[in-house]
Amino acid sequence: MHTIKIITSTTRKGRKGIAIANWMFEFARRANIFNVELLDLAEINLPLMDEPNHPRLQQYVHEHTKKWSAQIQSADGFIIVLGEYNFGFPAPVKNALDYLFNEWKYKPAGIVSYGGISGGLRATQMLKQVLTTLNMMPLPGQVSIPFFTKYINDEELFVPDEAIIKSAEAMIKELNRWTDALKTMRV
């Protein structure tokens, strides 16, 4: 069974993205086709990229980087739960990506984006440029959630509608196919 890791993109106190990440985690787990783990960047708490060497060399000097490297190395694919800040993707996810290089290589990434009217699509387009530089495959079939706050209830739980569920099902299927395909490149 492949291991899929769900990565948050926002870390501020009171952030809403964690409700979507928690839902996605359960949703992916219940599909019963992957091992699923949640990597919450707020918990992982990486400082701003502070490695002296280029990540391609993997000569990490900091414990936080070695730990992050192992967490990403052991993943076969990802789902990034992506917020949108000022028409771009939030800085914590860029920082987390920049720490590593080879660990991301030949792995697919499904994107679940959320925001106002754009549903995080502008952030997604910017993120794709970075993901492909890392030799990742961002899935075209993503989940995009405009006006996402209407799906968050009083208990701060994300409660999706049928359209969101359908797009999440489709994304998970694609993620599984791409994970199979790209694994053959990681020899």
Ligand X SMILES: Cc1cc2nc3c(=O)[nH]c(=O)nc-3n(C[C@H](O)[C@H](O)[C@H](O)COP(=O)(O)O)c2cc1C
Question: Residue numbers of the site for ligand X (CB under 6 A)?
Answer: 10, 12, 15-17, 83-87, 115-116, 118
Give whichever of 68 and 89 is closer to ligand X, judged by the CB atom: 89
Min CB(81)–ligand X separation in Å: 8
Distances (CA, A) of 173 to 29, 32, 72, 141, 146: 13, 11, 21, 10, 22
The DSSP code for 186 is: -
Residue 52 beta carbon to ligand X: minimum distance, rounded to whole angstroms: 30
Other CB atoms within a 10 A radius of the CB of residue 178 amount to 20
Q: In terms of residues, how long is the chain?
A: 187
From the CB of 55, what's the least distance to ligand X, in Å? Answer: 26
Q: Is 54 exposed, middle or buried (0-12, 13-18, 19+ CB in 10 A)?
A: exposed
Strand extents, DSSP E, 40-176: 77-82, 107-115, 136-138, 143-146
Alpha carbons 38 and 24: distance in angstroms, whole number: 9
Choose between 59 and 149: whose C-beta lies nearer to ligand X. Answer: 149
Closer Cβ to ligand X, 133 or 149, answer by number: 149
Q: How would you write 90-104 as a 3-class SS string?
A: CHHHHHHHHCCCHHH
Minimum distance, C-beta of residue 83 to ligand X, in the bound complex (Å) = 4
CB-nearer residue toward ligand X: 6 or 182 = 6
Considering the complex, state which of residue 9 and residue 65 has its C-beta at the smaller distance from ligand X.
9
Minimum Å gap between C-beta 3 and ligand X is: 24
State the first-to-last Cα distance of the chain, in angstroms, to the nearest integer.
17
Q: Which is nearer to ligand X, 32 or 86 (CB)?
A: 86
The CB-of-88 to ligand X minimum distance in angstroms stands at 7
